[in-house]
Structure 1
Amino acid sequence: MSRQVQVTFDCADPARVAAFWAEVLGCVVQPPPPPFTSWEEALAAWGVPPEQRDAASAVVDPDGVGPRVFFQRVPEGKAGKNRVHLDVRAAPGLEGEARMAALAAEADRLVTLGAAVLARYEPAPPLEAGHLVLADPEGNEFCLD
């Protein structure tokens, strides 16, 4: 049996974190359902109070293939290391220094969007190809590999 998967992030600023992850994953912020032309219009029509209209956001694969990633506002901040994290395949098919250079270039791009580089793990053949550990704008760790 096959099931659809949604990945959910708890965060303080869903719109900001969703915009960041849309860039990381090559996704788009999920548009509102027809006939609405904006989320503000949709939420107002559905009677969502103004103070709750920024409580969630989502990104979707523009090709409809990948999972939806949902961002929900929570009152508490991040307390420790993630127990689950995303691995973003940023250098498929590359090895050695070419791989690490591609990962570093992608990390540089993501830093301009609010990421932080936390660690670099050099290739250690035969099992380890090398990867970078980053954090999103709210501190959620992920790997570029």
Structure 2
Amino acid sequence: MASIKEFQVTFDCAEPERVARFWCEVLGYVVPPPPAGFASWDDFNRSQSPEDQDSWFACSDPTGVGPRLFFQRVPEGKVVKNRVHLDVRVGTGLVGEERLATLEAECARLVALGAVRVRLLRADGVNESCIVMQDVEGNEFCLD
């Protein structure tokens, strides 16, 4: 059986473009060019039926290494904890106070973008410290 070489991560959300642009800022991702024949994503959006307008948005890693992120509008709101979440790896290889300082600096940057800090999980001898956060629509993720 062949192994899968590529995948995308899909988010259910209320405002796909808003959430996508947040994650672009978090990860350094970019919005791809609009579909052929359209000068902008706004032009493409206006060409859609009213029920399809603003129904999805996507972003990608400009290096082509990370997965594509796809954001789709769903009618229901978020009511429980995510079963899957992203770990944003900003402290890889760092320990102790150096790791905490790096996590705190990135946390402050993301809070300014609209994220919410939930709690700091301190190193426990097995796991290093991380900060649990929420994106602009309340989806949990960790600064790790």
| TM-score for the superposition, normalised by structure 2 | 0.91
After the TM superposition, which residues 45-124 of structure 1 pair with which residues of structure 2 at under 5 Å, given as runs?
47-124=47-124
Distance in 2 between the 1:31 and 1:141 partners? Answer: 28
Supply the distance in 1 between the matched residues of 2:17 and 2:9 (Cα, whole angstroms).
16
* Rounded Cα–Cα distance in structure 2 between residues aligned with 1:39 and 1:69: 16
User: Which residue does the alignment assign to 2:139?
Assistant: 140
In the alignment, the residues of structure 2 paired with residue 140 and residue 29 of structure 1 have an alpha-carbon distance, to the nearest angstrom, of 20
Root mean square deviation of aligned Cα: 1.4
Q: Is the 8 A contact 1:40 1:53 kept in 2?
A: no
Number of residues of Structure 1 aligned to a counterpart in Structure 2: 142
Distance (Å, rounded) in 2 between the aligned partners of 1:39 and 1:50: 15
Identity of aligned residues (%): 56
Which one of the candidate residues 5, 30, 34 is aligned to 1:28? 30
Cα deviation, residue 53, structure 1: 2.0
Q: Which runs of 4+ in 1 moved over 4 A?
A: none
For the residue of structure 2 that corresponds to 1:28, the secondary structure is coil
Shift of 1:90: 0.9
Q: How far apart in 2 are the matches of 1:63 and 1:33?
A: 20
Q: Within the alignment, does 1:41 sit opposite 2:43 as a pair?
A: yes
Distance 1:59 1:144 in 2: 20
Structure 2 segments unaligned to the other structure (5+ residues):
none
Corresponding letter in the other structure for 1:3: K
Contact 1:136 1:142 in 2 (8 A): yes
Matched to 1:89, the amino acid is R
The alignment's TM-score, normalised by the length of structure 1, stands at 0.91
> Post-superposition shift, 1:50?
4.1
**Deviation of the 1:31 alpha carbon:** 2.0
In the other structure, the counterpart of 1:130 is 129
Counterpart Cα distance in 2 of 1:79 and 1:43: 29
Shift of residue 64, structure 1, vs aligned partner: 1.4
The one-letter code sitting in structure 2 at the alignment partner of 1:40 is D
Q: Which runs of 5+ in 1 are unaligned?
A: none
Secondary structure (helix, strand or coil) at the match of 1:18 reads helix
